[in-house]
Amino acid sequence: MKHLITTLALSIASLTYAQDQWNFSKMVNYKLEPGESGKYYATDTMTCDCKIILKEGDYGRIFLSIYYVPELSSNFLITDFIQSDKSYKMTLKHTITNKQQGIVIKEDGTKAELYSSSYKSKAVFIP
């Protein structure tokens, strides 16, 4: 029953997206500094033709795909969704590894942050 409610909530939430695709030209990888600082430092930067796309799948499930280049992508099932004033926050489940990850996408498309399952690293996408 919980799965059905989540699926329905996500389906309804998908109707509220201002857009279902974001394009980015740069990706910066960060790692968490050792210790308790909670700060990230950049490890590398690359130019890319990255796209983040929302898609509806079977049974009303919503998926998020990240295309790093046209031939290379990662696919995630959205398991939780929160829309705030200026961003979308989603909990994701990788479709191959089943690892849970998180993403925050600014509503205006100026930035997206994809966090690893342990939150020890993140990838930041910038237009």
pLDDT values of the chain reduced to their tens digit, one per residue, 127 residues: 455 555 545 554 554 555 789 999 999 999 998 877 789 999 999 999 999 999 888 887 889 999 998 889 999 999 999 988 899 899 999 999 999 999 999 988 899 999 998 889 999 999 9
Please count the CA atoms within 13 angstroms of the CA of 67 that sit on its side-chain side: 14
User: What's the pLDDT at 22?
Assistant: 93
User: What's the pLDDT at 1?
Assistant: 47
Gap between the Cα atoms of 17 and 116, Å rounded: 24
User: What's the pLDDT at 84?
Assistant: 86
Q: What is the mean pLDDT of the chain?
A: 86
Token readout for 27 is: 């990706």
Helix (H/G/I), strand (E/B), else coil: 60: helix
Closest of 127, 83, 75 to residue 107, by C-alpha: 83
